[in-house]
């Protein structure tokens, strides 16, 4: 079981850890990308500043229903952010089986997409637009009853081109050995 | 194709530009006079039919709001008209030229121009071995 890993950067500058694991005599390749959660300082600082400002305005001196309402809104916002924030994305490709993309969120929720190998056509590094930037992303070409569609991989974590080249070099031979 | 539009200066554009320049300065001076001079002076001269002074502030606010709004709406329309990451328009759109079927490979003629296949480009750029 071969294993290689390291750390790289996001397009926004955050640090990501990556691992490339070959299982079962190089028949199954797994590419894993994980976000290091280091933003705790930023959140604690913002919380202190905002509670100081709220106490300065005098939110706690008015009727307590307003304070309760604001606290509930804040709590819902935090829960929604934890529900949607991606912690790890993992792509597992098996020889003559298919490709599986697993997305793990911060609260532990996992979503999975599996494409069987008779539908996979190709894997590419494509360029596209995301919030007024041009980014490189890894994408899978799928043949759905004759017309092609694309499945972008790693779009929640968005690594940079150097890591995408490394993943491409490892995933391309596995996908094309199926043919 | 006949004459394509080009941004070069021409005599008609020069006349239109000069006219707009003089007219805009003139309109601005009239607007300032109407907004700042008191109503008595107008009635003494004889001008009695002019818009209510409320509109001087309304026009000013409208111009400022339009400036901010047009910049924002331009950025928003740009963001909306961009294809998403999983659309096939990023690979092929109405301007791509697909490779026609090979008719004769033996001639020395220059083959027709077509767009390269994206997977071939990816292999050349990003993988170590070129097929």
Structure ipTM: 0.71
The closest CB to that of A169, out of B83, B85, B127, belongs to B127
Residue A118 is encoded by which pair of tokens?
């008779």
- Report chain A's mean pLDDT, rounded to a whole number: 86
A141-154 average pLDDT score: 89
In a domain, B44, yes or no: yes
Which burial class, exposed, middle or buried, applies to A33 when counting CB atoms under 10 A from its CB (0-12, 13-18, 19+)?
A: buried
B74-100 average pLDDT score: 88
Secondary structure of A145-174 in HEC code, one letter for each residue: CCEEEEEEECCCCCECHHHHHHHHHHHHHH
In a domain, B126, yes or no: no
B108-119 average pLDDT score: 84
| pLDDT greater than 70 at residue B47 | yes
Domain boundaries, chain A: 2-38+85-177, 43-82
The angle at the Cα of B90, spanning A20 to A113, to the nearest 5 degrees, equals 40
- CA–CA min distance B118, chain A (Å): 8
- Locate the chain A residue with the closest alpha carbon to B92: A148
In a domain, B14, yes or no: yes
In a domain, B131, yes or no: no
| pLDDT greater than 70 at residue A168 | yes
Residue with tokens 């601005």: B28
**Which residues share a beta bridge with A107?**
none
In which band, very low, low, confident or very high, does the pLDDT at B1 lie, cut at 50, 70 and 90? low
| Least reliable range by pLDDT among A49-63, A113-127, B46-60, B88-102 | A49-63
In a domain, B42, yes or no: yes
As a whole number of angstroms, the distance between CA A115 and CA A104 comes to 18
The closest CB to that of B85, out of A137, A148, A168, belongs to A137
A78-104 average pLDDT score: 89
A 22-51 residues inside an 8 A Cβ radius of B: none
pLDDT at residue B104, as a whole number: 63
| Least reliable range by pLDDT among A52-66, A78-92, A164-178, B30-44 | A52-66
With CB atoms and an 8 Å threshold, state whether A168 touches B126: yes
Contacts of A166 in chain B (CB under 8 A): none
In which band, very low, low, confident or very high, does the pLDDT at A38 lie, cut at 50, 70 and 90? low
B 82-121 residues inside an 8 A Cβ radius of A: 82-88, 90-91, 118-119
What values do phi and psi take at B105, rounded to 5? -90, -10
| pLDDT greater than 90 at residue B21 | yes
The closest CB to that of A125, out of B82, B88, B122, belongs to B122
The domain tally of chain B equals 1
The closest CB to that of B86, out of A122, A150, A169, belongs to A150
| pLDDT greater than 50 at residue A179 | no
B87-112 average pLDDT score: 80
B62-89 average pLDDT score: 93
Looking at the domain covering A2-38+85-177, what would its CATH class be?
mainly beta
Please give the residue range of the domain that contains residue B27. 10-50
- CA–CA min distance A113, chain B (Å): 15
In which band, very low, low, confident or very high, does the pLDDT at B117 lie, cut at 50, 70 and 90? confident
A135-161 average pLDDT score: 90
Q: Which helix (DSSP H) or strand (DSSP E) does residue B27 occupy? A: helix B11-36
Please give the C-alpha separations between residue A176 and each of A52, A92, A128, B93, B119, in angstroms, as whole numbers: 59, 15, 24, 26, 12
Q: What separation, in Å, do the N-terminal and C-terminal C-alpha atoms of chain A show? A: 24
Contacts 24+ apart (CB under 8 A), B25-31: B31/B56, B31/B59
């Amino acid at each position: 079981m071969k294993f290689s890993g390291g750390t790289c950067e996001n397009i926004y500058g955050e640090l990501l850890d990556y691992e490339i694991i070959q299982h079962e005599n190089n028949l199954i390749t797994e590419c894993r990308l994980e976000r290091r959660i280091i933003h705790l300082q930023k959140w604690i600082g913002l919380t202190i500043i905002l509670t100081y400002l709220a106490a300065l305005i005098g939110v706690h001196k008015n009727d307590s229903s307003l304070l309760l309402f604001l606290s509930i809104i804040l709590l819902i916002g935090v829960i929604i952010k934890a529900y949607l924030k991606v912690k790890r994305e993992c792509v597992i490709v098996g020889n003559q089986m298919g490709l599986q993309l697993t997305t793990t969120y911060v609260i532990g929720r996992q979503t999975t997409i599996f494409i069987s190998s008779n539908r996979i056509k190709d894997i590419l590094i494509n360029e596209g637009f995301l919030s007024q930037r041009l980014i490189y992303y890894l994408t899978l070409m799928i043949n759905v009853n004759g017309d092609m569609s694309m499945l972008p991989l790693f779009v929640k974590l968005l690594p940079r081109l150097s890591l995408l080249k490394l993943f491409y070099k490892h995933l391309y031979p596995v996908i094309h050995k199926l043919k | 194709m006949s004459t394509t539009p080009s941004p070069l200066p021409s005599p008609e554009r020069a006349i239109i530009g000069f006219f707009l320049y003089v007219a805009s300065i003139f309109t601005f001076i009239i607007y300032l006079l109407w907004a700042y001079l008191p109503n008595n002076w107008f009635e003494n001269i004889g001008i009695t039919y002019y818009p209510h002074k409320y509109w001087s502030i309304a026009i000013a606010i409208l111009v400022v709001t339009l400036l901010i709004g047009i910049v924002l709406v331009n950025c928003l329309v740009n963001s909306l008209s961009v294809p998403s990451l999983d659309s096939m328009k990023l690979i092929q759109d109405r301007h791509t030229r697909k490779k026609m079927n090979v008719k004769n490979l033996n001639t020395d003629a220059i083959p027709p121009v077509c767009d390269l296949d994206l997977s071939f480009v990816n292999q050349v750029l990003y993988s170590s071995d070129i097929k």
